[in-house]
Amino acid sequence: MGLILEEQETCINLSRMDDRAQIYTSDTTMMTKLDKLVKAEDTEWKLEGLSKSNNGDVVGKTYSCPAALISFRSKRINRTFTEEQRRAVAERFSRNRL
């Protein structure tokens, strides 16, 4: 059994003296995203450690990546696509997956 939603968190630690960022998360959605980055080809992401409950369930993970990969946005961008544009993007994504 994992943590309840209110207990799930993600913490990013950036040190000015280190070129790698440390990311701890107990958020299962974030774990899935970061696990995909770790498994990606030619990745600079690493899984550094696991946190387990008393019964052995994974409740958190620690990752690292180059600090330059962490960025903060000033605002959200909303894009509106026509049906034709959506189909073109979907085709492009499908080709890239292969």
Residue spans of the domains in the chain: they are 5-75
Locate 72 and state its tokens: 């903060």
Q: At 23, is the pLDDT very low, low, confident or very high (cuts 50, 70, 90)? A: very high
**The total number of residues written for the chain in this structure:** 98
**Predicted TM-score of the model (pTM):** 0.75
Distance between CA atoms of residues 36 and 39, nearest Å: 5
46 close to 62: Cβ distance less than 8 angstroms? no
- Cα 95–Cα 36–Cα 69 angle in degrees, nearest 5: 100
Residue 3 has what pLDDT? 75
6 vs 9, higher pLDDT: 9
